[in-house]
Structure 1
């Protein structure tokens, strides 16, 4: 996969949806993503090109041996990589593969440019390739050039006739009748040629009129508008009444704008004018608008004399505004990182050299300018957290996993105990080799302190509530026995319901106590060797007795030996089954399975419930999180069970996840390592 360092998910989505034709490349020229308009122009899909080397996704057309677009674009990209500066190119022919006819290509002409995006240290994050599809423009200009060549050929023919006429004058002196006849014949032939020239002029006017590209012809030193097509009128927000008027009479707001002087310079000198993203104030829809146009101006000749200027304009306002908005977005993102006191860090996989941003150094209390090593970072941590963090780093490198860890440090400048949250991800080069492990860090001390205060309160309150609940349960059992002895069915039934409510309250309090113990590190994992098949059989026997509202099917389990806390793994399985029963229709079926694959024991519980949205799935195992919907309003719970399950599984170096689709039920999974 290409590196997306420096690109947030929001930034990638913005790049994919902005108007314009953009291709986003990693520093090693692999495609990160592309805009919708580019995909449309290139006749491809994002899935077909993402992750590929640019010249593998868009190879050279072997049938167009004279097209050098691939070589030129490669050279431009290398210049951007070496200079870290934007590079703008002239129009290039670069054919694209025809998705509808494999092996064939579609002719394309592009007006490309490459803009590097750098980090704070000047290192290249990615390259934005703007590739405007100008195929139609190039083909039209070629047709116009051919028409002009025909016109010049006609003029040469007329000059030849004039030469012929001059030669004939000597002979006409000898015979007046011959002179008159030749004169009449010549007059007729000149009329024909004049008619042909008029038709040629009409042809070029027709070519302009029917061109989809905005075009206009200005004549004379006052730049009178002689010809304009519908596309140009639409661009300018005008109608055909403006034909025959000087440009400054039509657009007084153009006075003082460079484009007017540029047209006059073309008219005076014949030198062409080309400029991209020319800023203009245009009066459209009744008010002045800021516009950006790609403008081309060419002199039009009548014989050897310039009689006008042909102007072509492409509206790129949306593309320019989108690029400026993207630049602002990137700036705001950087400012958000700085204002949010978030630091960046990076580890070179080959050298294990640690790089930390200024904010990251400030969080730890490191010297702002000193050299840092991974050992320096680990030394700042409290001893109990060092080895788990090293294990986490090794797992990320070996298993290509992302990380999200929290650990306490001693701030080197103040000596304070601070809590740090660090997220990380592994990045690869074009060959698939891991080259960098990097991410973000932030100081979460206040949140951890608040969590600790809350856990202390919950633990204390839960502990204090257990004593009166135990007494209340004893009194209820005594009253229930007395009611049964007195054969008071109503009282016995009421006391039975009250006892059930006390049991529910006890379960909730125990859950809160477990959370408190877990957060304070007092929950104990008793590792022992056992067979998952035997544990699942025990759970099956309990479920047959306890659950009579649903049909629970246990798939056969072969011997699966693990080293884990048997009671807590059983607690996780029971929680999965309890949730499946709680959140699925009465009399529906729940499937339980346990398999061994890839060195892991995997348990799954599948229900026929109402399913879970993708948004809720991402938060389902967070503490106190509950899915809020019409179906869950009447179902009791505090969002503790799945959080405890996740923590138990994580402390066994396992994984826990859910696969669900709304209306299609859910399957909850966990996996823990098999015994070696």
Structure 2
């Protein structure tokens, strides 16, 4: 890449004094500049936000000192992966793109802790004029939420299956609880509030009235017009639960009787449908009439005696509380004010009277002058060197006028402790008048921040403008400057990747000429706002030319000099991939929401469907068993008739090639038919045998027995079998089913060996909290991606050069599925296959 800058461009950049470091730090992307020895030289604000770091705390430090590995992550070292990528860039000078990888960042809130993060990263080199690597640009994207969402989706699908099984149990429990509840419960459905469900306790409240399938105000018309009607309507309209305590509601217990005064404790609560809309009311009611009448009688007897005493006590209590409250408020206000000044993160002092005596100084203000005694002294007595400084002049003006004064970076030379030499120090402060109870100024409140370090840092940035310009040319962001006539006065090298001109050829051209009419119309309004002095950020779709359309994220920064807008800086970032990814994500979320709604609708029919499937599976099992049993007799008869036919045929006909071939094919067909019947019988056994009792099996001994059973095949193929299962020596599982799994996987590994190499099969095992993982790995023929998707289907075969029924792997998967486990396969065509069988730990079943 040509990194030389033409004299014209250099001159333009120098004349404009572009704030390149501020431009770099304002980049929307997460960018880090590293020196060749991997020390941090610069970072964007976006990078600091994503990594929860502070620029002053990381600049100059080694990147792996700032971001060490998380010791709790047992996976491969994150820093090793990043270091390898950067070293490749340093060795080749070419950009390196890293796939998504995990690299946790230190938690600033909890020392020694880390926050989980996933990143998509590109490392690229920046060359100087001699072609040497000047620095490394480390650009990274935080994809943690997307990565977690993908994992959470998988976990959610697994939880959903469990939730469906629990749903029916919860429904049954709810029905039992509803019926057996000691209180009256009823459910009203629809806007007409129709009685659909109520328990026996509710019916007993109205023993002589019909309620079921009648609207509330038709079943109990005396409620019409009472306050309870407005209450229940309000609950239905708003969803707000209402709780009534001893509410008088006249109602008749029998249809032909007059209403009687009944006191109720009741709760009205809205019911919602699957879409979250209100579709009914749940009523919880208790008849409190007897208790209310009894209490009222008791209260009536003691009411007169207690009235006078209560009034006297109430007066004393009110006065006592008022006094205590006033004292408490005063004390809290005093404590709050003291904490405000003492704990404030800024330097605060109060200067009292016309002599401006230090009346209050908080700890941070005192730290600005650690060798000075301030309290009780006038400001000129404590700080004599400020007498002729503008800071003292402005304090006097505030005291005399009451007008608040602010400064962003006031230069105040302060005598250094020890030798008294004046040091250049800079402060940002606010001076505000304090008023007494008569509205007269009696002091000054000063709020100050020392910004000396920031000023010095800014000057250092300006001194490094030339180096930052080199970095700017290496950034993948379009950085330019347009004058007030919309003509380019500066462009970086990134423009050359979008437009068929060199960067220096764009200078002097109008933005309309460079980007085209259609794209210009999309940003014309933003340009006018920038030239009016407004700083703005926006996204737009830019059809630059036929076949070249970009989604951009752009910042316009006005260049204001002496109150006049001379032009503006433009920063353009390509966010095409991000926009397309966001649209794809939104589409995915909409589809997920639609699926969730469909699942909610289908949930009502799930139980009936499950029951039907159980009956269907039972019928299929019976059919397979009956078919395999009934087919044995015919095939035996065909085999017997075949023998009789051989006896009847003339000897000379048996010597004919055609007859011999036909007889051979018939015998082969009979044998294959018998094997199919046996396989169907074995599948039926699996269907009915999956609940066979598990017991503790010595896995190591079982593997040895299976290897002995396959000894003839092993000798014939010269296969090398290596078994290392000592880490899970004992397994809780059905012994015959476990034997079948191991036998099928080992026999397949030998049977489907590669003709050009000696078969090597490795059996291993490892334990986890939830699973025992049995692994069988071979170097055989392997399978393609399409074949892997079909390999567990019944009677499915992919190789015809060896005998097989296509049932073995189907049986293995059925055994594992029935036991609550799972099986995974990794295979490469021509290289080999690895099967992983996950057998669930009994504690998690």
Common fold by TM > 0.5: no
With the length of structure 1 as denominator, give the TM-score of the two structures: 0.45
Larger Rg: 2
With the length of structure 2 as denominator, give the TM-score of the two structures: 0.37
Greater RCO structure (CA 8 Å; 6+ sep): 1
